[in-house]
Amino acid sequence: MKLYASVVPLLAAAVSLATRLSTAFVKTDGQCFTLNGAPYTVFGSNSYWVGLMGLTTNEMNVTFQNIAATGATTVRTLGFNEVTTASGDYYQLWNGSTPTINYGPTGLKNFDNVVAAAKANNIRLIITLTNNWHDYGGMDVYVDQILGQGQPHDYFYTDPKVIAAYKKYVKVWIERYIDEPTIFGWELANEPRCTGSTNSATSGTCTTTTITNWVKTMSAYIKSLDCNHLVGLGDEGWFNWTNNIDASYNGSHGIDFDANLAIDTIDFGTFHLYPYSWDEETPSAMSWGQTWIKNHRNAQAMYNKPVLMEEFGLLASQDRIATYKNWYSTVIDSGLTGVLVWQAGSNLTSGPTPDDGSAIYPGTMIYEMESMYAAQLKDRNSQGLQSYDM
């Protein structure tokens, strides 16, 4: 009896802990995200810099406070900085072909503080684990260090030694944060393409199939280690529709949005929207973007998975306010799952956070606008996405 009596509460505690833990991660249900069985609305921003600028924990907290105050739930940030000489905050230091993980206060310990600050503000993090571009190292550092300086960018997706090195890196993050529900999910790369920005050479053989095969390999690898977290790609969302003369729709960048979204081990789709830098201003940037959003929304319905517009940004001179209103409304009215703007801004004691011309600081008109769209998107989701037709 005595023994029995002491076991019962223990069992009850174990069950309640298991229930709490298993439901505290964001999950998918058809085209929606859920948390503890209720709709989870992805609305928020990008902050690439929060873990890479030597911010104090207090400043990290202010960053997430500012974002959360708009009604945001989710922030996308970088989980990489590849360096060959130690400096600032970084995660992997390369000596020849040998990388060493930085577990210290300028590395993963610092990222622990990012996670804690996000958690204190009830924000979840999407973590992107490498970059197509040379900012903060990215793919070309793997290629250069392992295969030799200036080798083709797209060897990142095919060379077995490079793939093994990237898997090893990804595993470090997964093992550290596998039980952390503040992490919404992992993204395989920021804006993967056949071409990069440092190693302009390509093998000449990279097609959408090359990157899709890599997405299959990497997403299956993550799922084999981590069944708690969601997995997405982090791409710009290019389509590969046959006989299309538009580079955004003909697969020429090496991305086939449909093929990638169809992969079992990819939980949600991602796309970006930058009509001006993509030379897509016909009939106007605004209306090109509206169609881009709707086409991704159609793929979302076709594959029955959530899709996020996870980056879009304009300069003030680019009819920004009217265009953001149009795009946010299109997201909400079309039934697209969620949206993250590029990019968050904060006025910290050390000064304003980086501004590439599209940072949104507290007290500005767009910052105030965000709250309205966050509320509208949450309201839409509480009524159920299924009421939105294609």
- Summarize as ranges the residues that interact with ligand NAG (CB under 6 A): 58, 61, 65, 95-96, 120-121, 207-208, 240, 245-247, 250-252, 256, 347, 352, 361-364
- Residue placing its CB nearer to ligand NAG in the complex, 202 or 250: 250
Judge whether 82 counts as a catalytic residue: no
Distances (CA, A) of 143 to 56, 58, 150, 155, 187: 33, 37, 8, 7, 20
Q: Which is nearer to ligand NAG, 92 or 252 (by Cβ)?
A: 252
For residue 105, the minimal CB distance to ligand NAG (Å) is 17
Least Å distance between CB 382 and ligand NAG? 24
Out of 187, 310, 311, 370, pick the active-site residue.
Answer: 311
Nearer to ligand NAG, 12 or 365 (CB): 365
Q: Which is nearer to ligand NAG, 347 or 350 (CB)?
A: 347
CB of 278 to ligand NAG, least distance (A): 11
Helix (H, G, I), strand (E, B) or coil at 78: strand
| Shorter beta-carbon distance to ligand NAG: residue 137 or 306 | 137
- Catalytic residue (one of 82, 191, 310, 370): 191
Contacts of 140 (CB under 8 A, 6+ apart): 134, 153, 156, 196, 197, 198, 199
Work out how close the CB of 318 gets to ligand NAG at its nearest, in angstroms, rounded to a whole number.
18
Q: How many CB atoms lie within 10 A of CB 229?
A: 23
Strands (E), the chain: 27-29, 32-35, 38-40, 43-46, 74-78, 82-83, 92-95, 98-101, 124-128, 183-187, 230-232, 269-273, 307-312, 338-341, 347-348, 351-352
Compute the least distance from the CB of residue 255 to ligand NAG, in Å. Answer: 9
DSSP 51: T
CB of 83 to ligand NAG, least distance (A): 12
Q: Is 221 helix (H, G, I), strand (E, B) or coil?
A: helix
- For residues 168 and 383, which CB has a smaller minimum distance to ligand NAG in the complex? 168
Active-site residue flag, 311: yes
Q: How many CB atoms lie within 10 A of CB 379?
A: 11
CB under 8 Å to 127, separation ≥6 — which residues? Answer: 76, 77, 78, 79, 173, 183, 185, 186, 187
Cβ-based neighbours of 242, under 8 Å, separated by 6 or more: none
Instruction: Give the catalytic positions in this structure.
Output: 191, 311
